[in-house]
Amino acid sequence: MKSLRTTWLVAFAAGILLQGAVYLYLDQYLFAPDSGFYVSGMSEEKQQPDSDRFGQVEGSGSRYYSHDRRYMAMVTPTSVTVYDAQDKQNTQVIDLKKREVSFFEWLPDRNLILMALFDPDARGTDDIIIAQYNPETPDHELDTPIENVPAGSKVTSMAYSTATNAVYMKMKVADERYRIYRTDANYDTRRIYVQAENIGRIGVFYDEDVFFYDDADEGIMYAFNGSDSSWRTISPPGFYRLIGVDQSKAIYAAKVDSKGNAVELARGYLGVGFTTIAKLTEPVPFSQVTINYAQQREGEGMTANDQPTKKKE
């Protein structure tokens, strides 16, 4: 009896350790803290060629570097090849499972790739695959499916709440028609029903499960609370598009004219309101406006009499 009890206790302890190891992996690798195919979260600095480490690598794809620039990924819609600066002979060709890449990103603080894969020849419905690939442990690739979406659907953008492990995905299902899906470290993957079909940009607070998006047709910005599924509009008066959300939880927006050009830039905080930070001397295509651009243009065209732009409740 004593031997049986000892065996049971050992097995129970082993189970607890295994479960802990699984959650540790999810926390530190799969949803680790700190954005053809689409690339998100890539700064201009990270996009610069690294001729010192990878100058001899030839290929026709686009080059994207890990946060420490140890790894470079050569990416095309149909292939992803990873090169190691410390082991030039160690070339890893990622198995795309006969699918194509619609979204690619290195996580900002570790050597982990996040990709969205789709089947361009699918008919009826299809499954989108969200793949996580670590070149340091290539045998432990993790795939999460988003099931039964319209054939040809593709993920075009993602936003991470790094402290809460919530990941929001913008999926294109038809021309100017998008859906939002959410997943987390518990693999709770579900569709989030939103107030727009032609969804523009998306963003999320790094330390709260609060998600932001804009209606590209109506010029209205929204906030969605993932903890209780509540939502509200946050736009100032006028036609505004979401630029993005930064690490200080500042929300950047652009006032856009009828031609799709940004004419004013604003910065705001949830529950506080927006302040116009720039009146551009020349309209700029909204597609070219980033958070970095807005920060660099702050103060342009402003006078002492300019008043803050109030949010719309």
DSSP code string of 11-42:
HHHHHHHHHHHHHHHIIIIIT------EE-S-
114 pLDDT higher than 80: yes
In a domain, 135, yes or no: yes
Q: What are phi and psi of 81, to 5 degrees?
A: -120, 130
In this predicted structure, the answer to whether residue 135 has a pLDDT above a threshold of 50 is yes
**Pair 55, 69: CB distance under 8 Å:** no
Verdict on whether the full-model pTM lies above 0.85:
no
Is residue 183 one of the residues assigned to a domain?
Answer: no
Among 161, 192, 226, residue at a domain's last position:
161
Same domain, 206 and 146: no
Q: Is residue 156 domain-shared with residue 40, that is, in the same domain?
A: yes
- State yes or no: pLDDT of 252 exceeds 80: yes
Same-domain pairing of 66 and 145: yes
The answer to whether 157 and 193 have CB atoms below 8 angstroms apart is no
- Determine, yes or no, domain membership for 7: no
Q: What is the span of the domain harbouring residue 94?
A: 34-161
Q: Are residues 150 and 40 both part of a single domain?
A: yes
Which residue, 77, 85, 66, is CA-closest to 134? 66
pLDDT range class, residue 21, cuts 50, 70, 90: very low
Q: What is the DSSP letter of 286?
A: G
- How many independent structural domains does the chain possess? 2
- 313/219 same-domain check: yes
124 — pLDDT class (breaks 50, 70, 90)? confident
Average pLDDT in the 198-214 region?
96
Alpha-carbon span 206 to 210, nearest angstrom: 9
User: 143 and 64 share a domain?
Assistant: yes
Percent of the chain with pLDDT strictly greater than 90: 52
Q: Among residues 130, 161, 192, which one ends one of the domains?
A: 161
Q: What is the pLDDT of residue 310?
A: 53
Q: How far is CA 165 from CA 30, 82, 209, 223, 234, in A?
A: 9, 26, 8, 18, 24
**Structure confidence by residue, pLDDT tens digits, 76-93:** 999 999 999 988 888 999
Please indicate, yes or no, whether residues 56 and 140 belong to a single structural domain of this protein. Answer: yes
Average pLDDT of every residue of the chain: 82
Is the separation of the CB atoms in 52 and 65 below 8 Å? no
Residue partners of 138: CB distance under 8 A and separation at least 6: 92
- The per-residue pLDDT for 47 is 54
Q: Within this chain, do residues 55 and 153 fall inside the same structural domain, yes or no?
A: yes
Do 140 and 223 have their domain in common? no
Residue 28 domain flag: no
pLDDT at 28: 36
Most distant pair of Cα atoms in the chain: their distance: 85
User: Is 12 a domain residue?
Assistant: no
